[in-house]
Amino acid sequence: MDDIVTEDLSKSYPSGWPGRPPFVALDGLSLTVRRGEIFGFLGPNGAGKTTTLKILLGLVRATSGRALLLGQPAGDVATRRRIGFLPESPYFYDYLTAEEFLGFYGQLAGLSRAVTTQRMDELLQLVGLEEARTRQLRKFSKGMLQRIGLAQAIIHDPELVILDEPMTGLDPVGRKQVRDLILSLRDQGKTVFFSTHILHDVEMICDRVGLVMKGRLVASGRVDELVRQDHIQSVEIVCQHIKTQGNALIHSLATRVLQQGPQCLIVLPSPDAVDALVGEIRRQGGRLLSVTPHKASLEDLFFHEASQTASRAPAHVTGGRAS
């Protein structure tokens, strides 16, 4: 069962000037998010992440294409009862206290006063804001605002939680709290769809990711599928007492050579050249200090796709990298 489905979703904004082409924010985006998974929606600033989220929530209308949430068309008012949302850098009614704030959103979600009060107590404890329950939001720090924002997103116990850049601007402690909260939501059987450009968090908690560039999904799937972690991208060799200057063999094998006093760092593009280089180090009577293989990471994929997108029209690929 898929909780989010988008098919060929596009959104363009008129330029406002006759003759000028419209600005394309989304260009045929198709993705699926399965029930009960944490899906990380990755992309650089301006890639179309927030536009996608806005379309899913009915805040913006798609120019073309189709989007379904929990089996219903995006923007369906009744379905929103089953969805929680935290926007990017949330600005809330800062004249409200934490209690009033959660009470307001609980009532908007159709909860009774008794249920709202019970959920409020649970959530203030969960996000660590019990002490601040009677404090106005204008006196909250950014991390506290993010946490109270998360609490409002889940006060009505939604099946699907959509978070726009939930870790942005948080310190390491705050980021860990949000990560733990997202993981606990998955443990409760909820689906979490969140946009981010903090790759480390995605690698740590996401079941699957989608990478969007210039309004198109260029890759989607499990992190290990996408980055092929068994594949060694480069090898770093550190050695001592060898002469690299003018050595044709070393320079033909290496992509980078860095000499610092007696110590030398040599970067090889693949493991295939390791034997040849080690042989050369021994031949010169040098000392081998370390051989470190570097596996591909999500960051490599991110930069690779960013550079590729700049030079070509990307194709949509599921469960692997764009062709």
Partner 1 sequence: MGVIGVIAVNAFRESLRDKILYNLVLFAGLLIGLSVLLADLSITEHHKVIADMGLAAINLIGVIIAMFVGISLVNKEIERRTIYTIMARPISRSFFILGKYFGLALTLLVNMSVMLAVFLLTLWLYHVPIKPSLFQAVQLMFVEILVVTAIALFFSTFTSSTLSAIFTLGLYVIGHLTADLRAMVANSEGGFGKAVVDLLYYLCPNLEMLNIKGQAAVGVAAAPEYMMLASLYGVLYAGVLLTGACLVFQRRDF
- Edge-to-edge strand ranges of the sheet holding 232-240: 256-260, 263-268, 232-240, 287-295
Interacting stretch for partner 1, rule CB under 8 A, among 85-93, 171-179, 187-195, 208-216?
Answer: 85-93
CB of 153 to partner 1, least distance (A): 8
**Interface with partner 1, residue 85, by CB under 8 A:** yes
Is 193 an interacting residue with respect to partner 1 (CB under 8 A)?
Answer: no
Q: Does 303 bind partner 1 (CB under 8 A)?
A: no
Please identify which residue in the block is written with the tokens 């310190």.
171
- Based on CB atoms, which residue is closest to partner 1, 162 or 242? 162
Rounded least distance, CB 155 to partner 1, Å: 10
> Is 191:160 a contact under the CB 8 Å cutoff?
yes
Residue 291 makes contact with partner 1 by CB under 8 A: no
Least spacing, CB of residue 262 vs partner 1, in Å:
58
Enumerate the H helices of the chain as residue ranges: 49-57, 98-108, 113-126, 142-154, 172-187, 199-205, 223-227, 248-253, 274-283, 298-311
Scanning residues 11 to 70, which ones bind partner 1 (CB under 8 A)? 54, 57-61
Q: Is 315 in the site for partner 1 (CB under 8 A)?
A: no
- The CB-of-101 to partner 1 minimum distance in angstroms stands at 10
**x-marked contacts with partner 1 along 135-154 as a string, rule CB under 8 A:** --------------x--xx-
Report the 10 Å Cβ neighbour count for 276: 13
Rounded CA gap, 16 and 51, in Å? 19
Rounded CA gap, 75 and 297, in Å?
A: 36
The window from 79-87, 119-127, 171-179, 268-276 that contacts partner 1 (CB under 8 A) reads 79-87
CB 289 within 8 A of CB 239: yes
188 touches 138 (CB < 8 A): no
**Contact call for residues 56 and 163 (beta carbons, < 8 A):** no
DSSP run (H or E) holding 33: strand 23-34
State the number of binding residues for partner 1 (CB under 8 A).
34
Q: Which is nearer to partner 1, 95 or 303 (CB)?
A: 95
Options 91-99, 195-203, 204-212, 225-233: segment touching partner 1 (CB under 8 A)? 91-99
Residues that bind partner 1 (CB under 8 A): 54, 57-61, 77-81, 83-87, 89-93, 95-96, 100, 104-105, 107-110, 149, 152-153, 162
